[in-house]
Amino acid sequence: GENVEQHPSTLSVQEGDSAVIKCTYSDSASNYFPWYKQELGKGPQLIIDIRSNVGEKKDQRIAVTLNKTAKHFSLHITETQPEDSAVYFCAAPFTGTASKLTFGTGTRLQVTL
């Protein structure tokens, strides 16, 4: 099965700064890497994902990069805002079943004023 490691576990940044969260995975056959955001009292919500045929994907202030050789992928949030404060999870699929995900342990991001 897949093993996903996520760092850091907590991250505090000032409003307007950038935040970067990194994940590594073990299965070289993995081809889909989603990022989920979980706000207090809510379930995780997909914010961006990347397929293995591209190295980078952007959506406004959020971007994800993928290095297949090194087997790691990262979430980049630019111009952080207080509403970005949440727990972020990376995930990767079990081999052979795209919808069966292994999640990282989460990063608690705190954006301070």
Partner 1 sequence: ETGVTQTPRHLVMGMTNKKSLKCEQHLGHNAMYWYKQSAKKPLELMFVYSLEERVENNSVPSRFSPECPNSSHLFLHLHTLQPEDSALYLCASSQVYYSDSPYEQYFGPGTRLTVT
For residue 58 the two structure tokens come to 């952007």
Q: According to the binding rule CB under 8 A, does residue 83 interact with partner 1? A: no
Q: According to the binding rule CB under 8 A, does residue 110 interact with partner 1? A: no
Residue 21 and residue 82 in contact, taking contact as beta carbons nearer than 8 Å: no
Looking at the Cβ atoms of 85 and 103, the one nearer to partner 1 is: 103
Report the nearest approach of partner 1 to the CB of residue 36 (Å): 8
Report the nearest approach of partner 1 to the CB of residue 106 (Å): 7
Report the nearest approach of partner 1 to the CB of residue 2 (Å): 11
End-to-end CA distance of the chain: 41
Listing DSSP states for 28-45 in one string gives: TT--EEEEEEE-TTS--E
Kind plus residue range of the DSSP H or E element containing 11:
strand 10-14
- What is the C-alpha to C-alpha distance for residues 93 and 79, in angstroms, rounded to an integer? 30
Report the nearest approach of partner 1 to the CB of residue 113 (Å): 27
Residues forming contacts to partner 1 in the complex (CB under 8 A) are 4, 9, 32, 34, 36, 41-46, 49, 89, 93, 97-106
